[in-house]
Amino acid sequence: MHITQLNRECLLHLFSFLDKDSRKSLARTCPQLQDVFEDPALWPLLHFRSLMELKKDNFLLSPALRSLSICWYSSRVQVCSIEDWLKSAFQRSICSRHESLVNDFLFQVCDRCPNLASVTLSGCGHVTDDCLARLLRCCPRLRALRLENCARVTNLTLAAVATHGRALQTLHVDFCRNVSAAGLHRLRAACPRLALRAEHSAAMIPDQRPSASGMALRKLLPR
């Protein structure tokens, strides 16, 4: 029996065992399999291990998407987490190659995936409060938001959770250095039933551009 003789249910089940690249390769072999590849039922889960994967055409965004994770574990994450005013020209050039990738991708998710229930972002140093606030507004069924080492996430994201995260049950903001203890306290007061975790976040040193007087004083102090 040839693979194309299988019914739709069997083909979807077969595709479900393949990774994104393998699904795309198989879909290229004939229009029938391409049609299976484009079936939203095949794509309830999406996991990305690098930001460059977000630019590929080997997946589908649709209302069927329920769970999304972008976990970037790379030495470049450390570069992106450096305060902007401390980066060298070389470091800024590295970050510029992918600075808007996650935000732009999440904007597409906001437009196409209203039934999203779970989002995990790790090492996404450029994702912004505005982007996460829009995600909360456009995905009213979001129940779990897990953020780890997202340097640009601040108390504004916590405020957006209190305002728009009506269905949210779990929030992690681990190693997000610009989240403060005061912001966490306000969120706990506003959403007492929310399972909130913030490992090390409030204890980390937040971004704060040194003042001109502070920089001048630092130059005068002995080293």
Identify which has the larger pLDDT, 110 or 79: 110
Strand partners, 47: 69
Element (H, E) at 218: helix 212-220
Q: Is the pLDDT of residue 173 over 90?
A: yes
Q: Is the pLDDT of residue 183 over 90?
A: yes
pLDDT tens for each residue of 145-160: 999 999 899 999 999 9
- Is 137 within 8 Å of 114 (Cβ atoms)? no
Q: What is the mean pLDDT of residues 175-186?
A: 94
Coil, helix or strand for 42? helix
> Residue 223's pLDDT is what?
43
Q: What is the mean pLDDT of residues 33-50?
A: 97
CA dihedral defined by 191, 192, 193, 197, rounded to 10 degrees? 90
Helix axes 129-138, 101-112, angle to 10 degrees: 10
pLDDT tens for each residue of 121-137: 998 888 999 999 999 99
Instruction: CATH number for 43-197: choose from 3.30.450, 3.80.10, 1.10.287, 3.40.50.
Output: 3.80.10
Lowest mean pLDDT of 33-37, 71-75, 156-160, name the range: 71-75
| CATH 1.20.1280-classified regions of the chain | 1-42
> Residue 212's pLDDT is what?
47
Rounded distance between C-alpha atoms, residue 43 and residue 61, angstroms: 7
| 108, two tokens | 């597409």
Q: Tell me yes or no: is domain 1-42 CATH 1.20.1280.
A: yes
**pTM for the full model?**
0.83
Identify which has the larger pLDDT, 116 or 201: 116
Average pLDDT, the chain: 86
> Residue 94's pLDDT is what?
55
> Residue 86's pLDDT is what?
53
Banded pLDDT at 202 (limits 50, 70, 90): confident
| CATH 3.80.10-classified regions of the chain | 43-197
- CA 172 to chain centroid, in Å, comes to 12
- Is 150 within 8 Å of 176 (Cβ atoms)? yes
